[in-house]
């Protein structure tokens, strides 16, 4: 179980399973800036510098000899607290050979969900690097970038970065904020317990559920449920992830199970393309549900449950509440609502009855202090101090593209819509970008900073041209795309205060 958990942890940081490359830190308790370091192997003659902040966070900086004046601050995703300054070695090399200097920190603290400290650590890293590395002391421009959890961190850097960074690139990020992220995921987990676990109905906390009902809702008998919050260890959380995945896998043998899986997927914002060269056709609902189930079983449930202990550890308690949630209203805002209706009809199931059951048994309360802490540290306000360009795959199983629609709504509501542009590549997977994708969106952001206008820089044809001309190999193509509404917000009318 520990090995499986480690593999899933690595996935969030690297879109693969293994140790992140390029991570190098100074010895604990020994601040250092090693300007005499040998040239690193990832780009000709780039020098590696390392250091440590007062709170114990490590930082690294790679500086090419032909520094072009732009310093790039990278925020890494969920995973081990190791200093990283790029999402992968190929993207790092592509930037270094173009003269960009790269810097990033490990973040500090005891939780891999490092939102309590990450933004401060990133700003402090900038200050430390500029102080200790003469070549980047006075950069012409400083850009922030990040992926996955680091995309959320980066959106907060963009929110608070006036005078410290000039622009931001936020990729595959949890940009709708940590609270919504945990809410819609756990709504789906709750629905698995209610509808797919044998005899199922209780709440998230264990036998009978933390909703206090102590019964299955239909039969009146108590049933043991899969725990989905209030974990005491990574191992316990990972075991729940496996159990939920097993429940979904087992449900695929019947039409009723597949219909209810489609409902779970809709609540979880699960994309309908998980593998294969092309997504299923729009109205091939059976094929779409099969892809959603695959994504839930192979990635979404094992990873998100495996990480939940770390989230609760950082926030000081469970942040999920569903008391007062109207699940029929939640589902009505899903672009997959027609699919759920069709599959329920084919399975001869009563969708209204299942939704009423979910609403009736929804009594879980969050820890109010934990919710307040997450709102303070992991929820963007929508205000932007600098231009922010986002990048997302159309079918991301961990941080679904609807995150972007909610972020755009908040930014426009805050009056900063002109500062935001959102781009998409036609691909499945989490953060599955290639160097050419990164170089294309970087080119678009630099155009905005150079001219004061986005113009056509973020149009798909412009981005694809820039990606092609980068000469860095194949890449998923950019396309014009509007992300669906994020399910789990409208209909959630009660929250812990």
Give residue 223's pLDDT band: very low, low, confident or very high (50, 70, 90). low
Q: What is the pLDDT of residue 493?
A: 65
pLDDT in tens, 435-459: 999 999 999 999 999 999 999 999 9
Q: In this predicted model, which residue has the larger pLDDT, 465 or 493?
A: 465
Residue 302 is encoded by which pair of tokens? 């094992």
Element (H, E) at 60: strand 58-63
Distance CA 23, CA 10 (A): 13
Question: Is the pLDDT score of 167 beyond 60?
Answer: yes
Q: What is the pLDDT of residue 202?
A: 34
Give residue 45's pLDDT band: very low, low, confident or very high (50, 70, 90). confident
Q: What are the two backbone dihedrals, phi and then psi, of residue 261, each rounded to the nearest 5 degrees?
A: -65, -40
Q: What are the two backbone dihedrals, phi and then psi, of residue 241, each rounded to the nearest 5 degrees?
A: -60, -45
Distance CA 60, CA 129 (A): 8
Q: Alpha helix locations (H) across 47-163?
A: 89-96, 118-132, 149-160
Q: What are the two backbone dihedrals, phi and then psi, of residue 473, each rounded to the nearest 5 degrees?
A: 95, -165
Mean pLDDT for the stretch of residues 148-153: 98
Distance CA 70, CA 93 (A): 15
Q: What are the two backbone dihedrals, phi and then psi, of residue 422, each rounded to the nearest 5 degrees?
A: -125, 135
CB 306, CB 239: distance < 8 Å: no
Q: What is the pLDDT of residue 403?
A: 97
pLDDT in tens, 386-418: 999 999 999 999 999 999 999 999 999 999 999
The number of residues making up the chain comes to 497
In b/e form, how buried is each residue of 112-127, taking b as 16+ CB within 10 angstroms?
Answer: bbbbbbbbbbbbbbbe
pLDDT in tens, 305-336: 999 999 999 999 999 999 999 999 999 999 99
Plot region of 399 (φ>0 → left; ψ -120 to 50 → alpha; else → beta): beta
165 three-class SS: coil
Mean pLDDT for the stretch of residues 420-439: 98
CB 97, CB 46: distance < 8 Å: no
**Which one, of 96, 90, 109, lies nearest residue 60 by Cα?**
96
Q: Is 129 exposed, middle or buried (0-12, 13-18, 19+ CB in 10 A)?
A: buried
DSSP state of 241: H
Dihedral sign of CA atoms 134, 137, 138, 144 in order: positive
Question: Residues 317, 382, 55, CA angle at the centre, nearest 5°?
Answer: 50
CB 320, CB 289: distance < 8 Å: no
Give residue 495's pLDDT band: very low, low, confident or very high (50, 70, 90). very low
Distance CA 45, CA 23 (A): 18
**Which one, of 306, 322, 182, 311, lies nearest residue 245 by Cα?**
306
CB 278, CB 476: distance < 8 Å: no
Distance CA 85, CA 74 (A): 5
**Which one, of 232, 233, 261, lies nearest residue 247 by Cα?**
261
Residue 388 is encoded by which pair of tokens? 């922010």
Q: What is the pLDDT of residue 492?
A: 82
DSSP state of 364: -
Distance CA 243, CA 68 (A): 51
Distance CA 58, CA 106 (A): 5
CB 311, CB 230: distance < 8 Å: no
Question: Full-prediction pTM beyond 0.85?
Answer: yes
Q: What is the pLDDT of residue 198?
A: 60
**Chain centre to alpha carbon of residue 494:** 24
CB 435, CB 92: distance < 8 Å: no
> What residue has token string 């100074």?
26
Question: Is the pLDDT score of 206 beyond 80?
Answer: no
Question: Residues 481, 8, 422, CA angle at the centre, nearest 5°?
Answer: 20
**Which one, of 223, 209, 217, 395, lies nearest residue 299 by Cα?**
395
Q: How many CB atoms lie within 10 A of CB 136?
A: 21
> What residue has token string 């250092």?
32
Give residue 224's pLDDT band: very low, low, confident or very high (50, 70, 90). confident
């Amino acid at each position: 179980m520990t090995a499986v958990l480690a593999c899933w942890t690595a996935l969030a940081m690297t879109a693969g399973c293994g140790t992140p490359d390029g991570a190098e830190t100074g010895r604990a308790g020994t601040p250092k800036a090693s300007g005499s370091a040998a040239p690193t192997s990832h780009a000709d003659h780039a020098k590696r510098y390392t250091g440590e902040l007062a709170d114990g966070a490590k930082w690294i900086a790679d500086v090419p000899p032909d520094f072009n004046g732009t310093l790039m601050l990278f925020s890494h995703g969920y995973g081990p607290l190791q200093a990283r300054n790029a999402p992968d070695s190929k993207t790092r090399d592509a930037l270094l050979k173009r003269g960009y200097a790269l810097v990033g920190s490990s973040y500090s603290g005891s939780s891999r969900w490092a939102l309590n400290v990450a933004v401060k650590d990133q700003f402090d890293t900038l200050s430390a690097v500029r102080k200790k590395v003469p070549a980047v002391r006075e950069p012409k421009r400083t850009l922030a970038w990040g992926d996955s959890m680091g995309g959320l961190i980066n959106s907060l850097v963009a929110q608070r970065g006036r005078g410290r960074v000039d622009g931001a690139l936020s990729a595959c990020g949890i940009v709708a904020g940590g609270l919504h992220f945990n809410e819609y995921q756990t709504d789906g987990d709750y629905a698995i317990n209610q509808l797919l676990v044998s005899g199922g109905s209780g709440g998230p906390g264990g036998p009978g559920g933390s909703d206090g009902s102590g019964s299955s809702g239909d039969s009146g008998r108590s049933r043991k449920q899969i725990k989905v919050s209030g974990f005491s260890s990574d191992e316990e959380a990972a075991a729940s992830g496996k159990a939920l995945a097993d429940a979904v896998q087992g449900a695929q043998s019947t039409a009723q199970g597949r219909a209810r899986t489609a409902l779970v997927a809709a609540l979880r914002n699960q994309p309908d393309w998980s593998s294969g060269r092309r997504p299923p056709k729009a109205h091939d609902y059976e094929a779409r549900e099969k892809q959603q189930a695959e994504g839930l079983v192979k990635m979404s449930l094992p990873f998100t449950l495996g990480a939940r202990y770390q989230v609760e550890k950082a926030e000081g308690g469970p942040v999920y509440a569903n008391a007062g949630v109207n699940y029929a209203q939640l589902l009505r805002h899903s672009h997959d609502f027609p699919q759920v209706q069709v599959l329920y009809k084919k399975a001869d199931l009563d969708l209204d009855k299942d939704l009423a059951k979910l609403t009736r048994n929804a009594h879980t309360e969050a820890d109010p202090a934990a919710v307040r802490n997450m709102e303070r540290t992991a929820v963007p306000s929508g205000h932007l101090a600098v231009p922010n360009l986002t990048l997302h795959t159309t079918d991301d199983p961990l941080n679904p593209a609807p995150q972007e629609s909610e972020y755009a709504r908040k930014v426009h509501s805050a009056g900063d819509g002109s500062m935001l542009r959102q781009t998409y590549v036609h691909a499945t997977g989490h953060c599955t970008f290639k160097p050419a994708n990164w170089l294309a969106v970087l080119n678009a952001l630099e155009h905005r900073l150079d001219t004061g206008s986005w113009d056509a820089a973020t149009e798909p044809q412009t981005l694809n041209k820039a990606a092609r001309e980068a000469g860095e190999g194949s890449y998923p193509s950019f396309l014009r795309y509007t992300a669906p509404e994020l399910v789990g917000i409208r209909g959630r009318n009660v929250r812990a205060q």
